[in-house]
Structure 1
Amino acid sequence: MKQILVVDDSAVIRKVARRILEGMQFSTVEAENGRKALVACEQAMPDAILLDWNMPEMDGVEFLRALRKMPGGAGPKVVFCTTENEASHIALAMDAGADEYIMKPFDQHVVRSKLEDIGVI
């Protein structure tokens, strides 16, 4: 079973994402910020990461840059999931190593489509 790490400072968003992903037969792990997400990746590198942008302690872009420098950190497919919708934000996320980008609020169809597009499904 593939594992997806859900990184978001909102417990509600993590819960919604977990339900969607588990309904698609993924195993999920949660982290409330980038620092905790790095620890989770050190323990077990996930197959994919659903990543928020704005979080305390370490934001999504900082996390992604650190992830990509870790041993095995090039492997996970990363989908930014955020309210930041300006072209400059999207470009920054992609330059940092994101594979895809979705806007909040999201639903099962959007998540499934993006995961299919990047080969996680």
Structure 2
Amino acid sequence: MNIKVDKIYYSKFLATNANADLLLTENGIAIKNVSVKHSGGSVSLNGSIAQKGSTNNFKLNTVITNVDIKNFFYSFNNFGMKTLTSKNLRGYLFLLPTYRALLAIKAICFRIHYMAASLLI
């Protein structure tokens, strides 16, 4: 399934020119070629959710390029931080985060088992 959306709003977050390919299989969901424009730059990602019994393995590889860091932090409510905020940041963000998590069906919660990122400011 191919998805195209002109604008995505969520709280303070605004993305434009959103595109994504979703593939639903018996074993999970593949998320491919996701791209959006945000804060003057772009965000793209690929990932998957693989079902295995009562757990789901979640993987996400992201590329954040040339994003205004002040607006990026503002859009995500400073990621809950009080000292490193949009008010004291400037410049452009280039980030390559990788997320891996195990989602348990027993409860509406998850643990991130692995998270890595490269940050250039």
TM-score by length of 2: 0.26
For the pair shown, which has the larger CA radius of gyration, 1 or 2?
2
The structure, 1 or 2, with the larger RCO (C-alpha pairs under 8 Å, 6+ apart) is: 1
Q: Which has the higher strand share?
A: 2
Q: Which has the higher helix share?
A: 1
TM-score by length of 1: 0.26
